[in-house]
Amino acid sequence: MRVVMLVANPIVFDGRVIRHAQTLVRAGHEVTVLGVLGPGDAEGRMEELGLSTWRLDRRRRGLLPRLIWASTAMRQRAALHLGALLPESALRQVPAVAALAVATSAVELALRAATLPCEVVHANDLNTLPAAAWAARLRRVPYVYDAHELYVDEHPNLTEAERRLRRVAEAHLAPGAAQVLTVNELIAAELVRRYGLPPPVVVRNLPPRVQVPCPGPDAGPPGTLRLLYHGAHIGLAQEGTDDLLRALARLRGVLELRLTMRGGLTEGARRDLLARLDQLGLSDRVRICPPVSGAVALVQAAAADGEEVGLAVHPPVCTSYRFTTSSKVYEYQAAGLAVCATDLPGNRLTVDERAGLFYPPGDDETLARLLLELGRDRARLLAMRQAAWRRAQTELCWEQEQERLLAVYERLGATSTPS
């Protein structure tokens, strides 16, 4: 099949989109991925992906990009303003307003997608769903909706008007998809409850199987612990970061630990983080590393650095945070790390108690106690790490999960007509 896949980011840093596109290509499908370069985005190295790609340039470099950026920004701002004034019942009568409000580059992506011959258009998240639906209508082909998270409550800073617009757009367009995909059973059930959809197909955001050895009897003495905290953003503005640092401060003089913080930081965020580490007396216990590119690189780096416990410290500040399963938790286990995570439904789906521990969100005292237990009981820690590694090798790997994605496209291919 010929597939046009849409994503509202620069493509090169989106592991799920790349993994899906490359899997479809290996299975014999023709895939073109359309993305967006935003004003502050880095280009990345697209040639390394081995994919056919195109990106809308909104970085305001030159006259045409400036005009495109201005027009998309003005259009979205107008839709947001109008949507804030209308009650939800009125918005349902004009769903295009909601669609334009949630999808900055919907018109441009739709027009570009409509120029490409295809049998299916694949939307990644709600911010590309309008473009996919419109392009599919123009091409007279079906579209797929892949909900990476619960987008209607994606972030705690969303206004009620923004949530209302997202609800209307998703309620209008998701039922028209030939297939809805999502990342776990919790979000799938929530989409069914909200919109009366047929059960979505769950395709977990799993890393490929990486050849790292199963953790063996380690030489670390009792009272030591090596921790990894990874994220796109790891500064103090990231919810949960300071909970972790307070927990580690409680363990000074009690546990010999090392924390690797690996992820993105602006210069200002780095200064603030270093000041906080100094304030808590952790400067000599924490090393700050740049992010690595992709799931495989993270697994390899964690294994090479001798990390033992991966930390996932997301508080439930919105519904999506409660339900989402972070890809890094899968990657920790693939590297043979035990997991210490906030006690949320999404984390419970990802890690069983043989491989991880859970603490109440924001409770740095309990988090410190759990880490102390692992540091003192090295045999237990090793058993947890081995359980995590074995599950990653046999179940939590893309080589097993990809069959769900391929089955969706096999069904679509059986009913499609050339466009």
pLDDT at 219: 61
Question: Where does residue 216 rank: exposed (0-12), middle (13-18), buried (19+ CB within 10 A)?
Answer: exposed
- Report yes or no: 408 and 201 within 8 Å, Cβ to Cβ: yes
Helices (H), 281-377: 295-304, 319-323, 327-334, 345-350, 364-376
Domains and CATH numbers, the chain: 2-206+399-415 (3.40.50.2000), 224-394 (3.40.50.2000)
pLDDT at 44: 80
Share of the chain above pLDDT 70, in %: 98
Q: Taking 80 as the threshold, does the pLDDT of residue 232 lie above it?
A: yes
**141 vs 129: CA distance, rounded Å:** 14
Residues in the chain: 419
**418 vs 396: CA distance, rounded Å:** 35
CB atoms under 10 Å from CB of 50, counted, come to 12
Q: Taking 80 as the threshold, does the pLDDT of residue 286 lie above it?
A: yes
Task: Describe the strand order of the beta sheet including 201-202 as a list of residue ranges.
Answer: 52-57, 30-37, 2-6, 120-124, 143-147, 179-182, 201-202
CA distances for 309 relative to 35, 342, 356, 360, 382, angstroms: 35, 14, 9, 18, 10
- Report yes or no: 59 and 39 within 8 Å, Cβ to Cβ: yes
| Pick from 222, 236, 210: nearest CA to 337 | 210
pLDDT at 147: 97
> Which residue's entry shows tokens 């679509």?
412
Q: What is the mean pLDDT of residues 250-262?
A: 94
Q: Taking 90 as the threshold, does the pLDDT of residue 69 lie above it?
A: no
Contacts of 278 (CB under 8 A, 6+ apart): none
Task: Give the helix/strand (H/E) hosting 415.
Answer: helix 398-415
Q: What is the mean pLDDT of residues 374-402?
A: 94
Q: What is the DSSP letter of 238?
A: S
Q: What is the mean pLDDT of residues 238-263?
A: 95
Phi-psi region of 306 (alpha: psi -120 to 50; beta: other; left: phi over 0): left
CA distances for 47 relative to 9, 51, 304, angstroms: 16, 8, 27
What mean pLDDT value characterizes the chain? 92
pLDDT at 417: 63
Q: What is the mean pLDDT of residues 402-416?
A: 93
CB atoms under 10 Å from CB of 283, counted, come to 13
pLDDT at 40: 78
Q: What is the mean pLDDT of residues 55-65?
A: 78
| Pick from 145, 191, 187: nearest CA to 167 | 191
- Report yes or no: 208 and 295 within 8 Å, Cβ to Cβ: yes
Of 8-22, 44-58, 176-190, which range is least confident? Answer: 44-58
Q: What is the mean pLDDT of residues 229-256?
A: 94
Q: What is the mean pLDDT of residues 94-111?
A: 92
Residue 53 bridge partners (DSSP): 33
pLDDT at 63: 79
pLDDT at 419: 56
pLDDT at 246: 97
CA distances for 161 relative to 80, 148, 165, 167, 194, angstroms: 8, 22, 6, 10, 18
**64 vs 342: CA distance, rounded Å:** 46
Q: Taking 60 as the threshold, does the pLDDT of residue 128 lie above it?
A: yes
pLDDT at 61: 73
Tens digits of per-residue pLDDT, 166-218?
999 999 999 999 999 999 999 999 999 999 999 999 999 999 999 999 998 86
Q: Taking 80 as the threshold, does the pLDDT of residue 416 lie above it?
A: no
**154 vs 89: CA distance, rounded Å:** 22
Q: Taking 90 as the threshold, does the pLDDT of residue 294 lie above it?
A: no
Q: Taking 80 as the threshold, does the pLDDT of residue 11 lie above it?
A: yes
pLDDT at 66: 74
Q: Averaging pLDDT over each range in 2-6, 223-227, 290-294, 377-381, which range is the top one? A: 2-6
Q: Where are the beta strands (DSSP E) in 179-255?
A: 179-182, 201-202, 224-233
Tens digits of per-residue pLDDT, 312-363?
998 888 889 899 888 899 999 999 999 999 999 999 999 988 999 999 999 9
